[in-house]
Homo-oligomer: A and B are copies of this chain.
């Protein structure tokens, strides 16, 4: 539905990414962080935020939106908090640094909260939250982004998709909950557009602020900045809980753009700057009791949820993180699915960077028209 899908081994794409990001001008260590954020997204089955964004990051660097030399400057710091000015640096590197600080603070002081301004798109919010749970801590991350969410009763997008991600250590699979505060992301609308299908009710509004199921119309309005956009989780009215999704989007602004005094979503992607802000928090369960006991207690509840009686016709109740966990095993075995349109871009990029496409992909020749998602970037 969005071009043919081709599959490549994870290691191949990792090697390509390592080489490409170093050609962009990043150090080996930096390239490793960036590729891990992107490929983790692909491993988790979130293609829209994975490999396919590599070319866009390159465009961001060549256009000056992303400044390679900027490493993120700590402008305020206490034992439990920090504010970082990203100085237009690469979002993944600024985000990684910020979460590492939050984790260090949580280990020592119990909690670490880091708010970041003037950054760029940082990939999936959940990656950073996961950095904390990988070390036995509770993780949280959020970001704002170019306005795409139309607040309840408005006709103009004022907030980004503003994901909130939470992770909690658990057996056998960590809790991993990473969701936009809109009903859906722009990528989902683009999929419906490509399929020529009407979107479900409650996803979007047109430029008059009236609910619309016409994905082409909505996407056109968004890209021409004519108004309308995607609705908050909860849809168009308070009856269905629209104000709740809108409020959750505001919490992402709070930790990202408010505490850092950075650009709110309605100021993102303007005047040649991204102005994107992020928020990070790590909480140390050892400051509440025995971490192993807390983990076991949570794991029991998760198992009770999985064991609960299923709805008619439903084989399974998922807890958050199971799908991503199973996706990793599947993708490592079957390969990373990539839209051929992306591979055309990758080939062009290799030529531009002086990398030998054949050395990664052998005799494979991408031939699809470019039909990849067009995201916020």
Number of A residues near B (Cβ < 8 Å) is 80
Which residues of B are found within 8 Å of A115, using beta-carbon distances?
288
Which residues of B are found within 8 Å of A240, using beta-carbon distances?
183, 200, 202, 235
Q: Answer whether residue A113 sits at the interface, using C-beta atoms and an 8 A cutoff.
A: yes
Residue-wise interface mask of A (156-184) relative to B, using a CB-CB cutoff of 8 A (1 in contact, 0 not): 10100000001010000001010101011
A114: shortest Cβ distance to chain B, in Å? 9
Give the residue of B150, B210, B235, B314 whose beta carbon is less than 8 angstroms from that of A312: B210
Q: Answer whether residue A65 sits at the interface, using C-beta atoms and an 8 A cutoff.
A: no
A83 near B289: Cβ-Cβ < 8 Å: yes
Q: Answer whether residue A89 sits at the interface, using C-beta atoms and an 8 A cutoff.
A: no
Which residues of B are found within 8 Å of A261, using beta-carbon distances?
289, 293-294, 297
Which residues of B are found within 8 Å of A109, using beta-carbon distances?
79-80, 109
A258 vs B290: C-alpha distance in the bound complex, in angstroms? 12
A183-B241, A285-B259 known; A311 vs B154 contact (CB < 8 Å) = yes
A111 vs B338: C-alpha distance in the bound complex, in angstroms? 43
A219: shortest Cβ distance to chain B, in Å? 18
A122: shortest Cβ distance to chain B, in Å? 19
A152 vs B239: C-alpha distance in the bound complex, in angstroms? 20
Which residues of B are found within 8 Å of A83, using beta-carbon distances?
288-289
Q: Answer whether residue A41 sits at the interface, using C-beta atoms and an 8 A cutoff.
A: no
Which residues of B are found within 8 Å of A154, using beta-carbon distances?
305, 308-311, 314, 317
A115-B288, A209-B312, A250-B175 known; A80 vs B81 contact (CB < 8 Å) = no
Q: How many copies does the complex hold?
A: 2
Give the residue of B113, B293, B314 whose beta carbon is less than 8 angstroms from that of A283: B113
A294 near B259: Cβ-Cβ < 8 Å: yes
A266 vs B304: C-alpha distance in the bound complex, in angstroms? 9
Which residues of B are found within 8 Å of A132, using beta-carbon distances?
none
A79 vs B80: C-alpha distance in the bound complex, in angstroms? 11
A175: shortest Cβ distance to chain B, in Å? 7
A151 near B209: Cβ-Cβ < 8 Å: no
A166-B254, A179-B247, A200-B240 known; A111 vs B155 contact (CB < 8 Å) = no
Which residues of B are found within 8 Å of A257, using beta-carbon distances?
301
A268 vs B81: C-alpha distance in the bound complex, in angstroms? 35
Residue-wise interface mask of A (84-114) relative to B, using a CB-CB cutoff of 8 A (1 in contact, 0 not): 0000000000000000000000000111010
B168 near A258: Cβ-Cβ < 8 Å: yes
Q: Answer whether residue A58 sits at the interface, using C-beta atoms and an 8 A cutoff.
A: no
Q: Answer whether residue A23 sits at the interface, using C-beta atoms and an 8 A cutoff.
A: no
Q: Answer whether residue A63 sits at the interface, using C-beta atoms and an 8 A cutoff.
A: no
- Those of A305-332 within 8 Å (CB) of chain B: 305, 308-312, 314, 316-318, 320
**What 7 additional pairs, Cβ within 8 angstroms, besides A166-B247, A179-B241?**
A76-B289, A111-B111, A152-B318, A153-B310, A155-B308, A158-B304, A209-B311
Chain A residues with a Cβ under 8 A of chain B: 76, 78-81, 83, 109-111, 113, 115, 138, 150-156, 158, 166, 168, 175, 177, 179, 181, 183-184, 200, 202, 205, 208-210, 227, 233-235, 239-241, 243-248, 250-251, 253-254, 257-261, 264, 266, 283, 285, 287-289, 293-294, 297-298, 301, 304-305, 308-312, 314, 316-318, 320
Cross-chain pairs A/B with CB under 8 angstroms, 10 sampled: A76-B289, A80-B287, A111-B113, A151-B305, A154-B305, A158-B304, A209-B312, A210-B312, A250-B320, A253-B301
Minimum-distance CB pairs A-B, first 7: A209-B311, A153-B314, A177-B247, A80-B110, A81-B287, A259-B288, A208-B312
